[in-house]
Amino acid sequence: MFMASRLRYCGLAVALLSFIATPATAGETRIAVAANFTAAAKEIGALFSKKTPHQAVFSFASTGTLYTQIINGAPFDVFLAADQARPQLALDAGVAVPGSGFTYALGRIVLYSKNPTLVAGRETLTLARFEKIALANPVTAPYGAAAIQALDAMGLRDTLTPRFVQGKNIAQTYQFVETGNAEVGFVALSQVAAHDHGSRWIIPFDLYEPIRQDAVLLTNGASNEAAKAFLAFLRSPDAVAVKNAFGYGSGD
């Protein structure tokens, strides 16, 4: 009898310790993230898991690719797009929660080269002393669409089109420049904000529409407290500081 009581007591103690060690509110959320926001999202995710009991699991791709996955039933809770159009389409399609959307970041494009003397402003494009110029697919990647807008505004699209090397997203576009597959490319400012290597020209805002990147809670995450907590954390001073460090405006 004494041994049985002792065993029951030990079992209860172990269960209690397990309950204390794992907060009841801890959760996990799956987040679809536009490729340009990869580095910033990873830092914000680390802070999120440090300062809350929750974990964020990220999937990175072009905004168009992620939207297609979401429409086809991919089990994401949150969508961090590189534009406003796809989150609105998600709302229109009934796969996102009405009233949950907001602009979480303002992105910028930059003309970048590993060559420290190649990029020297607009004349780099007008003189075109390069063989290949990289940009993201303008159909699926908003940063690629912004690059096309800038080239159109400068009247250089037709001239430079034969030299295009097109990445499926902005992450691949950056790799084309880094690996030398293109001497120069339109990349996200966030991708080069952390270093001063090579040469660059931050494209003026008057050459393309502002890249307002919207976040939205998906219906799959409507009852997921970790998903809601992540969206709230995305607007916190900690997250804003990370976004600013990567060259983003903080949005709303």
Model confidence over 28-64: pLDDT tens digits?
999 999 999 999 999 999 999 999 999 999 999 999 9
3-class SS at 43? Answer: helix
Among 43, 17, 32, smallest CA distance to 73 is for 32
Task: Compute the mean pLDDT over every residue in the chain, rounded to the nearest whole number.
Answer: 90
Give the span between the Cα atoms of 179 and 175, in whole angstroms: 6
Position 24 scores a pLDDT of 40
State phi, psi for 69 to the nearest 5 degrees. -65, -40
Cα-flanking dihedrals φ and ψ of residue 106, to 5°?
-115, 115
pTM flag (> 0.85):
no
Give the chain's residues under pLDDT 50. 1-24
pLDDT for position 25: 62
d(CA 38, CA 60): 7
- At residue 240, the 3 state secondary structure works out as helix
CA torsion 74-78-83-87 (nearest 10°) is 70
Query: Can you tell me the distance from the alpha carbon of 120 to that of 122, in angstroms, rounded to the nearest whole number?
Result: 7
DSSP code for 203: P
Of the candidates 220, 252, 227, 247, the residue with the CA atom closest to the CA atom of residue 48 = 227
Whole-number pLDDT of residue 52: 97
Hey, what domains does the chain have and what are their CATH numbers?
Answer: 2-106+212-245 (3.40.190.10), 109-202 (3.40.190.10)
CA-CA distance, 46 to 136, in Å (whole number)? Answer: 28
pLDDT value of position 250: 77
Dist CA 81 CA 66 (whole Å): 8
DSSP state of 204: P
Coil, helix or strand at residue 105: strand
pLDDT at 191: 93
Residue type, 157: R
Looking at residue 210, what is its pLDDT?
A: 84
